[in-house]
Amino acid sequence: MTVDKELITAQALAEALDLSVETIWRYTRENKIPCVELGSRQYRYKLDDVINALRGDVRENFAPYDTKPTKKLTYQDYLVIPEEPGYRYEILDGMLIREPSPNVVHQRVSRRLQRILEDYFWGVDYEGEIFDAPLDVTLLDYNVVQPDIFYVSGEQPQIVKDARIDGAPELVVEILSPSSRRKDRLQKMQIYKQAEVHHYWLVDPQERTLECFAWHDGVYSLVASGMDEDIVEHPNFAGLAIKLQSLWSNIK
């Protein structure tokens, strides 16, 4: 299929109009602006056509240049967000967060750590499961996250639904990237703490570090950490020893 060169993405349209991407998607869902559907949840726009639409009926009923969401977003809002190649989305505290898809280094480290965790938990919790992104996890009322790796224990079957995990996993692992470092260390840590995720790990391929936090009485404490070629042993998971060198080998 030949794609019109004048067609632009929702992100490009939002930047051109000084709007939020969420506003563009809201207008799209409500058929307030014209769009071209290229595939399932993939939309493109002609800037001139959109501007003309905003000068008409939309202008009478909405404030098209209001970049703040009118309400906190929920999982139901998340389900109708159009997909955009090269990006993934989460809802944190009711706000839509957009970031680039993971790169090769991220995926290599994720795959290696996931294999280690699968081998370990298979031996100590046969009914538990290790999952990885992209799989939605809904926490509290206004959070939809896609942790890089997470473990649902055999005592938590009630949170495993057909299309998502609805509740706090026992363990969540986030692998940091330049675009996610601040979000994972601050905003998501607060969300996981409030949701009572018992174990939260941060892996930093750039710094070659692993930090393991454990939840107790409403706060996270650092209970294990390591860097470079250290072997990290976790006090709450007897017999688990992670050789960090196995995560970093052959990555730049």
Q: Could you write out the DSSP letters of every residue in the chain? A: -PPPTTEE-HHHHHHHHT--HHHHHHHHHTT-S--EEEETTEEEEEHHHHHHHHTTHHHHHS-TT--S-SS---HHHHHTSPP-TTEEEEEETTEEEEEEPP-HHHHHHHHHHHHHHHHHHHHH-TT-EEEESS--EEETTTEEE--SEEEE-TT-GGGB-SSSEES--SEEEEE--TTTHHIIIIIHHHHHHHTT-SEEEEEETTTTEEEEEEEETTEEEEEEEEETT-EEE-TTSTT-EEETHHHHTT--
Mean pLDDT check: name the lowest of 13-22, 44-53, 201-210: 13-22
The end-to-end CA distance of the chain, in Å, is 38
pLDDT digits (tens, 9 = 90+) for 216-225: 999 999 999 9
Residue type, 114: Q
Distance CA 29, CA 215 (A): 40
Helices 10-17 & 21-29 angle (0-180, nearest 10): 110
pLDDT-derived band at 8, boundaries 50, 70, 90: confident
pLDDT digits (tens, 9 = 90+) for 71-103: 889 999 999 888 888 888 999 999 999 888 999
Please report how many Cα atoms fall inside a 13 Å half-sphere around the Cα of residue 227, on the Cβ side.
5
Distance CA 29, CA 62 (A): 14
Contact in structure between 102 and 96 (CB atoms under 8 Å): no
Residue boundaries of the structural domains of the chain: 7-100, 104-248
Domain 104-248 indexed as CATH 3.90.1570.10 = yes
pLDDT digits (tens, 9 = 90+) for 137-185: 999 999 999 999 999 999 999 999 999 999 999 999 999 998 888 899 9
How would you classify residue 217: left for phi > 0, otherwise alpha for psi between -120 and 50, otherwise beta? Answer: left
Tokens at 11, concatenated = 């992100």
| Chain CA centroid to CA 148, Å | 8
Share above pLDDT 70 across residues of the chain, in percent, rounded to a whole number: 90
